Structure 1
Amino acid sequence: MRVLLCDDHPVYRDGLRTLLQELGLDVVAEAASGEEAVHRAAELAPDVVVMDLSMPGIGGVEATRRIVAARPETRVLALTMIEEDATMLAALRAGASGYLLKGATGAEISAALDAVGRGAVTIAPEVATGLRSGLHRPDPFPQLTPREHDVLRLMSRGRTNELIAQTLHLSVKTVRNVVSSIFLKLGVSTRAQAVATARDAGVDGH
């Protein structure tokens, strides 16, 4: 199996490359941004792309969408720290065949790669409940991006910008910009109004 490895953290990427090679997989290239992932996938036509979703640039969800649209036979396995339902659903709707959390063991990663390589869909059990309930539930805020959904959900949990930044591996400045965009799209002017709007729509952060 030919694998393209996409992650912007060099230490994690090095460890994952070693694991995949020990499993007998051919890591044909690596990418550290969404744009680079799309370029490498088009250039090398890998069997599977292992995709971090929190990369710089267009991000992993949009990169997944472009890769699958250009070459549907390429499978994408999202391997991420993000447990939020909105991000998982966005990744699957973009064309990902699997969603795994970065705390997964080597055996779990191996099994997931084998599954998506065979054309199956595999979802981490920690987030599978959100899949069952979310795929058939209309998105109350379709105007929001996946990242904005994640931030809004964490705001609904009472998280500060600093805690949201830590959870999503973003800078505090980026979180502030996302919050401002959420305010604009929801037509509100305060954090409390945004949270109230989210909760009225059934987004309670859990």
Structure 2
Amino acid sequence: MTRVILVDDHVLVRMGFRMLLADAGIEVAAEYGSGEDALAGYPHVRPDVVVMDLSMPGMGGLEAIRRLLAQDAKARILALSAHEDTAHPQRVLRAGALGYLAKRSAPDALIAAVKAVARGERYLDAPTAQALAMAQISGEESPAAVLSEREFSVFLHLARGLSVAQIAAALNVSTSTVGTHLYHVKQKLGATNQSELTLMALRWGLIEP
């Protein structure tokens, strides 16, 4: 039986996923409400698949994916997201996740995605795969594509309203390091303050309204 860890800060979402997976004969071995808790619990569970939501308080799903793969390079991760952009799936797959599934997908897509990732195969839901293909063909990218991986993480945290100190704590870096990344983010995106960064993130579909 395939064993998974569910990581999502919404209890009702985890409950729904657990019932859906159980009906398909997939065992939910553990559930966590944050990336931090998932990192602490993972070594004790060693699941076949980690189903990781990207939008969570604290370090967030993307940073948790990076740290989890640094902890265990063989971890098989399926990322879930409510975002409609192409930047998130690109970043997630680049970070080492095997799959990406939009939360708007049909329930049976979650089953197919978990089974594919458990086999060590890549998985992208059809609409996301099409959006990525169209963006590549047209040459259109989110302006956030110019940011480095860590700059992108700092940008998202800032856009969600976190302070420099809160971001430093979430990413486990110094406030001066966050300040440096923030300077580069503003320079690259042509922003002057946090409000402008939030508006940019909303316009590009990188955060939820």
**With structure 1 as the length reference, what TM-score do the two structures score?**
0.71
Partner of 1:127: 128
Ranges in structure 2 where 5+ consecutive residues have no aligned partner: 168-178
Aligned counterparts of 1:30 and 1:56: Cα–Cα separation in 2: 16
User: Alignment identity in percent?
Assistant: 34
Q: Following the alignment from structure 2 to structure 1, what is the Cα–Cα distance between the partners of residues 158 and 131?
A: 17
Q: CA deviation at 1:83?
A: 2.1
Partners of 2:130 and 2:153 lie apart in 1 by 18
CA contact (8 A) 2:158 2:197 kept: no
Deviation, structure 1 residue 19 = 0.8
Is the Cα–Cα contact under 8 Å of residues 183 and 190 in structure 1 kept in the other structure? no
Q: CA RMSD in A?
A: 3.4
Distance verdict in 2 for CA 1:60–1:190, change over 3 Å:
closer
Within 5 A, what are the aligned runs for 1:1-206? Answer: 1-132=2-133, 133=135, 139-142=145-148, 144-146=151-153, 148=155, 173-174=161-162, 185-187=185-187, 188-189=191-192, 205=204
For this pair of structures, how many residues does the alignment match?
178
- Structure 1 runs of 4+ off > 6 angstroms? 191-195
State the alpha-carbon separation in 2 of the partners of residues 93 and 194 from structure 1: 23
SS of equivalent to 2:115: helix
Structure-1 separation of matches of 2:20 and 2:158 = 32
Q: Which runs of 5+ in 1 are unaligned?
A: 153-169, 199-203
**In 2: Cα distance, 1:89 partner to 1:58 partner:** 19
Q: Deviations over 1:18-50 (max 9, x none)?
A: 111111111110000011111121221111000
Q: Distance in 2 between matches of 1:28 and 1:72?
A: 20
